[in-house]
């Protein structure tokens, strides 16, 4: 039966100073902040409804909406109707 070998690692004072250097610490703090901001942006954008103003062949404008949560899509003839839908959607999530 073989004995497990133990690997000894020597860390010099210079190595410790490099790891604890302000540049190293600031790098990791900045990286964590960037990761947090990216995750928050991704989560927020994936839940936001998409509303697009479009025009038909006759030049009439309408609003095309898409709700990524329910995967519902629809069209509204006026901005007022689209806003009403958006408010109803918002208050449904508060219930």
DSSP characters over 44-74: HHHHSPEEEEEE-TTS-EEEEEEETTTTEEE
How many C-beta atoms lie closer than 10 Å to residue 82's C-beta?
A: 21
Look up tokens 């703090």; give the residue.
Answer: 29
d(CA 79, CA 57) in angstroms, rounded, equals 19
Would you state the pLDDT for residue 21? 65
Question: pTM higher than 0.75, yes or no?
Answer: no
Tens-digit pLDDT profile for residues 70-94: 889 999 999 999 999 999 988 887 7
Order of strands across the sheet with 72-76? Answer: 50-55, 61-67, 72-76
Where is pLDDT greater, at 53 or 12?
A: 53
User: Is residue 55 very low, low, confident or very high in pLDDT (cuts 50, 70, 90)?
Assistant: very high
Tens-digit pLDDT profile for residues 2-49: 555 565 666 666 665 565 566 777 878 888 888 888 787 777 667 889
* HSE of 15, CA atoms in CB hemisphere, 13 A: 4
């Amino acid at each position: 039966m073989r004995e497990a070998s133990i690997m000894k690692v020597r860390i010099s004072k210079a190595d410790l100073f490099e790891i604890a250097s302000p540049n190293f610490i600031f790098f990791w703090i900045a990286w964590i902040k960037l990761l947090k901001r990216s995750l928050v942006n991704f989560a927020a954008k994936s839940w936001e409804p998409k509303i697009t103003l479009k025009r038909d062949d006759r030049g009439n404008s309408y609003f095309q909406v898409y709700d990524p949560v329910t995967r519902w899509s629809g069209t509204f003839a006026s901005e007022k109707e689209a806003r009403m839908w958006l408010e109803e959607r918002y208050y449904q999530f508060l219930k």
